[in-house]
Amino acid sequence: MSGLTLLASLTLPGVPGSAPCARRFLRDTLVPGHLAPGEEVLDDMALVVDEFTGNAVRHTDSGQGGKILLRVLAGRGVLRAEVTDDGAGGARPLLRAAPEGESGRGLHIVDALASRWGHRPDGVRTTVWAEFFTPGR
């Protein structure tokens, strides 16, 4: 995370309605200072934040009355979104080899859209992050 500057952070309740709030917050943070409305990277970032927020609600203690922390960071040629959840009993995000059915595809979408992504433990909590390269910025 070296070389990145925190642009904004927002704490949301761990409820399904937080995903649209997270997307709006991301857009409001990045437009117009960093991205123009309608830029593909903005749409990609919003989709990834939606996935991370939804996963936090569905698969972690955040969805059991907890909270979600969204952070938006920027550096030279890169934008980064991070979502921190309240933990899932030590379980961490996992990119499944071959998702089937309705679930398990989200992290494959993240993997396709983000320049790079990953997660890090924060005690019992987990922060999932995605970076998007923005050359020339």
Distances in whole angstroms, Cα of residue 87 to Cα of each of 14, 92, 105 = 12, 8, 21
Identify the residue with better confidence: 98 or 79.
Answer: 79
Report the predicted TM-score, pTM, of the whole model to 2 decimal places: 0.91
Domain ranges, ordered by start, for the chain: 5-133
pLDDT at 31: 93
pLDDT greater than 80 at residue 7: yes
Q: What is the mean pLDDT of residues 33-59?
A: 94
What mean pLDDT is reported for the chain?
91
pLDDT in tens, 90-126: 888 877 776 565 666 788 899 999 999 999 999 999 9
Task: Return the CATH class of domain 5-133.
Answer: alpha beta
| % pLDDT > 70, the chain | 92
